[in-house]
Chain A
């Protein structure tokens, strides 16, 4: 298929449709309102459902209700909105319903600003809502990956029967890039006879299904949590994604970075290479499950003296990086979180400063 030039937010909307998702509920918030503005036109063409909810709290539960019927469903929002949806995300994870949440992250905390940031890493990967749950989090580095990951997200949501999050940022949402859409996903969701609440008449067993998160018996609840944990462990075995950049050289420094920030790091690495300085990058594409072994291996290569996590935050993913490096190398950090994206020159200076 030919490449088309699309704005990230619109491309995410189109990708959802091509993934067979015909249902979208959302509440407007900058910098991602274009997804809704795109889908309000596209979904009716596909016989789909578009609804602007009264708040992100309500939208979270519209997603929950829709996902509980086994239909593919997505919402998109940005940081403050995701905070409000986090209650629902906890319930959905507990009740095990597949659905996709897209967070086009802006600066926080509070109202913060509307420019790109990565300050929601903790919220996405450590649980923005209450209780013991994990979200499978995909972090695209541009419009092409945003499309691919949005489509993948539906497959993963159904594989693990739970919510999946795309963690983008304002730049990915707003910028235009050429994209190529992968093949459409099969429209029919996988068989959900044993759990979806879509009417007893639809299933052979004629047994009713329940979508719930309340377990009053401590043994039942512990078993339920063990079952959830088994899924999160399986994600770690089967669905870690990362990119290793310039790791086949004798690099002195290993950068860890993801999303928009990683693209700047890549440019910096290329420039440094021209000066004869080898630097590598390990870019997690799944923030949960986290590429723990890959980071350890890359950090402990003989040539590597230092690891530095570079983020559009005040230091969030770096905590996971430190955990993975297990004290084998010093782990430094550089971050900005006001909405400006550090230039390649800035990154080059920082790298030179630690060599």
Chain B
């Protein structure tokens, strides 16, 4: 019998800087498994965001570039256009992707850039200490929305996958979550599918992952999973929004 469980080769054997109970670690592992299973390590270039995952390259054993805040899709475009043989992915938070980097992600998706984006939606700015994100829920507290998000003043949370799925250019756009084991398995499948589409040079591929930020939500890791399940999932429905077929 083969080994039932082992660390993906592309994942480094090291402690992460993520807070206890943060789901960034789970998603890292899923990305690493997909890269391993598709045999892509040697030709992969990751693009790190500015956000809690800025140091993602400490955990992945493959080439990496570090973007400025929000600009990862433009950087990935530059890499992929001049070296289409490389496998390129960006890994971005909701402040990075849905706020400051909104222009870059929409245009990369609309051009049908053949790279993969992993979008961590934890409905808050993690790295800078819990400010409101474009994905923060109505009434959800943040340091810059101490009374809860006021949608009269700040609009409704942006559903990035729906927005990108609405573009006419073919793409793979899916929203998944990592709050429960079954969801994790599905997210894994989606991430692998996203890389597979890239390998086939088929389309832009985008996996939104509903995640947690226990530290800035002010909840325990377990309560965070519960809060996300009860509050984020009704608004951010899971499932494929668009497939290239």
Residues of A near B55 (CB, < 8 A) are: 214
A66 to B74, CA, bound (A): 10
A241 to B183, CA, bound (A): 62
Residues of B near A197 (CB, < 8 A) are: 45, 63-65, 79
Which residue among B44, B45, B74, B104 has the maximum number of chain A CB atoms within 10 Å of its CB? B74
Query: B180 in the interface, Cβ–Cβ < 8 Å?
Result: no
Query: A25 in the interface, Cβ–Cβ < 8 Å?
Result: yes
* A215-257 interface bits toward B, Cβ cutoff 8 Å, 1 = contact, 0 = none: 0000000000000000000000000000000000000000000
Residues of B near A95 (CB, < 8 A) are: 65-66
Docked-complex contact B65 and A55, CB < 8 angstroms = no
With both chains docked as a complex, state the minimum distance between the C-beta of B123 and any C-beta of chain A, in angstroms: 25
With both chains docked as a complex, state the minimum distance between the C-beta of A159 and any C-beta of chain B, in angstroms: 21
Docked-complex contact A62 and B78, CB < 8 angstroms = yes
A82 to B61, CA, bound (A): 35
With both chains docked as a complex, state the minimum distance between the C-beta of B89 and any C-beta of chain A, in angstroms: 12
Query: B82 in the interface, Cβ–Cβ < 8 Å?
Result: yes
Docked-complex contact A211 and B44, CB < 8 angstroms = no
Q: How large is the interface on B (under 10, 10 to 19, 20 to 34, 35 or more residues)?
A: 20 to 34
For the A-B complex, the count of residue pairs with Cβ-Cβ distances under 8 Å equals 128
Instruction: List A residues at the B interface (Cβ < 8 Å).
Output: 22-23, 25, 49, 51, 53-55, 57-69, 71, 73, 87-88, 91, 95, 197-201, 206, 208-214
Docked-complex contact A65 and B57, CB < 8 angstroms = no
Docked-complex contact B54 and A214, CB < 8 angstroms = yes
Docked-complex contact A200 and B77, CB < 8 angstroms = no
Query: B37 in the interface, Cβ–Cβ < 8 Å?
Result: no
* B39-71 interface bits toward A, Cβ cutoff 8 Å, 1 = contact, 0 = none: 001111101100000110100011111111001
Docked-complex contact A62 and B75, CB < 8 angstroms = yes
Known: A208-B61, A210-B63. A69 touches B104 (CB 8 A): no
CB-based nearest B residue for A53: B74
Which residue among A64, A65, A197 has the maximum number of chain B CB atoms within 10 Å of its CB? A65
B65-120 contacts to A, CB under 8 A, are 65-68, 71, 74-83, 85-86, 103-104, 107
Docked-complex contact A51 and B81, CB < 8 angstroms = yes
Known: A69-B86, A197-B63. A64 touches B43 (CB 8 A): no
Which residue among B48, B62, B77, B86 has the maximum number of chain A CB atoms within 10 Å of its CB? B77
CB-based nearest B residue for A197: B63
Known: A197-B64, A210-B63. A73 touches B82 (CB 8 A): yes
Residues of A near B48 (CB, < 8 A) are: 212
A51 to B63, CA, bound (A): 24
With both chains docked as a complex, state the minimum distance between the C-beta of A51 and any C-beta of chain B, in angstroms: 6
A55 to B63, CA, bound (A): 27
With both chains docked as a complex, state the minimum distance between the C-beta of A69 and any C-beta of chain B, in angstroms: 5
Residues of B near A214 (CB, < 8 A) are: 54-55, 66
With both chains docked as a complex, state the minimum distance between the C-beta of B144 and any C-beta of chain A, in angstroms: 23
CB-based nearest B residue for A68: B65
Docked-complex contact A62 and B45, CB < 8 angstroms = no
Residues of B near A25 (CB, < 8 A) are: 78, 81
Residues of B near A49 (CB, < 8 A) are: 81-82
Residues of B near A88 (CB, < 8 A) are: 68, 71
A289 to B76, CA, bound (A): 32
